[in-house]
Amino acid sequence: MKMSNTIIVAEDEPITRMDICEMLTSAGYYVVGEASNGLQAVELCRRFKPDLVLMDIKMPKLDGIQAAKLLIKENVVESIVILTAYSGKEFIDKVKEVGVIGYIVKPIDENRLIPQVEIAISKGKEIKLMKENIKNTKVIHEAKEILMEKYKLTENDAYKKLRKMSMDKQVSILETCKNVIKYKAY
């Protein structure tokens, strides 16, 4: 486990929060913030953009589900794991709808926490990479369309032109595509 993995712990019970932070720190994680309510959790996430948020489901000001929805919508955290004393199906269904990566039922011990944290961080990074790849693919496709229209090229020829432009300028094909889009072709 690397210290580069940043975590925010949002738990309204101070002793539980302290125990979780201690487990994470001793396992080599970097706890960048602690929150005692949902609003603090959201503010800390906006500030630190952590790899993971461990968030209690029941907190004052803004509950864990509402805070998770907001964080996912704003895309400021890679993954969220909900902490709860409730294991009922209705809670699990609510949490699944939000898009969090994990669900840990209290009491929390190190043997259950650390594997969940590892998996959540890994899945969060995987999802982030997939989103970036999709975004990059859209950029390349848009640039090809611009060249196809401007120069009456086939899709394959437009891609070849992008590659040649990239090599000539010694920049990545993605950078070339962004410039084509920005300036609507060369």
Q: Point out which residues pair with 33 in neighbouring strands.
A: 8
For the chain, strand residue ranges (E) read 6-10, 30-35, 52-56, 79-84, 102-105
Whether the predicted pLDDT of 185 surpasses 70: no
Taking the C-alpha atoms of residue 9 and residue 94, their distance in angstroms, rounded to an integer, is 20
Terminal C-alpha separation, the chain: 46
pTM of structure: 0.83
Whether the predicted pLDDT of 28 surpasses 80: yes
- CATH of span 132-183: 1.10.10.10
User: 71-108, pLDDT tens digit by residue?
Assistant: 999 999 999 999 999 888 888 888 888 989 999 999 99
Domain boundaries, the chain: 6-108, 132-183
Largest distance between two CA atoms of the chain:
67
Query: Quick one: fold of 6-108?
Result: Rossmann fold (3.40.50)
